[in-house]
Amino acid sequence: MNTNIVWVKMDNDWIEGELTDENLSNNNFIIKINGVEYEYSNYEKHNSIDNLKKNNLVDIPHLNEPSILEAIHLRYKDDIIYTYTGKILISLNPFKNLDLFTDDMISKYKLNSAILEPHVYQIADTSYKNLLKYNKNQTIMVSGESGAGKTYSTRCIIKYLTNLSKNKSSIENMVVQSNPILEAFGNAKTLRNDNSSRFGKFIKIQIKNYSIIGCNIETYLLEKIRLVQQENDERNFHIFYQLLNSDLKTKYYLKSFEHYNYLNNRYISCRDVDDNMDFNNLLNAFSVMGFDEIIVDKILGIVASVLHLGNLKIDEDGNIIMSDEFTYICKLLDINESMLTDAISFRLMKTNNEVIKIKLNRDDTINSR
Ligand SMILES: Nc1ncnc2c1ncn2[C@@H]1O[C@H](COP(=O)(O)OP(=O)(O)OP(=O)(O)O)[C@@H](O)[C@H]1O
Ligand SMILES: [Mg+2]
């Protein structure tokens, strides 16, 4: 191998060049790229392929940006999506099934995680062991751009931890089953990810005597604006498509997709999302989580009401024009007509002991809706 190969930056890209022996008086270097000589003030050192194929980037002799990128790229080409950098696990989305998350794999990592290849199971395993060893709370932070695989990895971590739990109870199943519910109401197709989480999650899992005894999931920053408005080719939250695809839709006075303004008047299918299967999973998850039929019915009624609300017509003066939708909303939310009108077309102002009702104009009525 030519040991004079170095990395230089050209047009914001790292490319390989050959360092020549020529010494310039201005301390610059002459570097040959595809037979053409260029003058550079600096360069980065190159590593041999063997030296790059390390499980942990810190073991690469010349650790610099182009070598990190090349190392990760070389591993990715061999379907190795995990690489450590110190104690941090870098994970790339393979965009295909690599059989990395089977029950067999979980068993292997449970047996002796430390000697195996980098894996998100290793992170989960280490945090579990550190919890027992130091008796201190452990945190796993999952971060990355949209579509990187945060939700997927989090699911894998939870699957691994529930698998480690010794005295299995209904809790493990509930921890896993909370997911279809959160995703139905909080995930949507975006231009980058068919199942994009439009909210953040902080999951606390409590472990005692080697077993999961509780779980608390806090959600934050839910993208509420998506309810009423989506980019072209993006979707509203999955739940609307799940409900409209199901036999239950007539129960909530719903028609076909074209009917609903809050769905851009059409159905947009997803490659990575199966609305029918997900709806069945959702109903099952509701049941596992202890939501009874009456509550589930109310929840779906509220979901349907949102679609009906989007179709309410409002006149120039901000009055709601009576329609079937208006009646459906009242029935589904179990309220009378004046309550709905008051909620949408009026603002209530409290002064001393008096409540004054102020009529909204058209724009404010639309906002208030
Ligand atoms: N390790 C993996 N193996 C197979 N598929 C994966 C893997 N990681 C992610 N995916 C797939 O890639 C897509 C995007 O992943 P995911 O939804 O987890 O991204 P995200 O980081 O949560 O994005 P967002 O910020 O938009 O919520 C999903 O369809 C997911 O199933
Ligand atoms: Mg996500």
| 146 ligand 1 Cβ < 6 A | yes
- Amino acid 138: pLDDT: 98
Nearest Cα neighbor of 8 from 26, 37, 22 is 37
Read off the pLDDT of residues 52-104 as tens digits, 9 standing for 90 and up: 999 999 999 999 999 999 999 999 999 999 999 999 999 999 999 999 999 99
CA atoms lying within 13 Å on the CB side of residue 249: 18
200 touches 217 (CB < 8 A): no
- When pLDDT is cut at 50, 70 and 90, the band that residue 23 belongs to is confident
Judge if pTM exceeds 0.85. Answer: yes
Asked whether the CA dihedral 27, 28, 31, 35 is positive or negative, the reply is negative
Q: Evaluate: CB of 193 within 6 angstroms of ligand 1.
A: yes
| Unique residue bearing structure tokens 């550079």 | 40
Nearest CA to ligand 1 atom 16: 149
Distance 149 CA to ligand 2 centre (A): 7
- Beta-carbon count within 10 A of 345 CB: 22
Whether the pLDDT of residue 1 is over 70: the answer is no
Ligand 1 probe mutation, 146, 156, 195, most atoms within 8 A of CB: 195
- The strand ranges marked E within 255-352 are 313-314, 320-321, 346-351
Per the listing, tokens 């690489």 go with: 83
pLDDT of residue 3: 74
Distance 99 CA to ligand 2 centre (A): 21
Ligand 1 centroid vs 120 CA: distance in angstroms? 14
- Distance (Å) from CA 238 to ligand 2 centroid: 13
Atom of ligand 1 nearest to the CA of 272: 29
Ligand nearest to the CA of 144: 1
Return the percentage of the chain with pLDDT > 70, whole number. Answer: 99
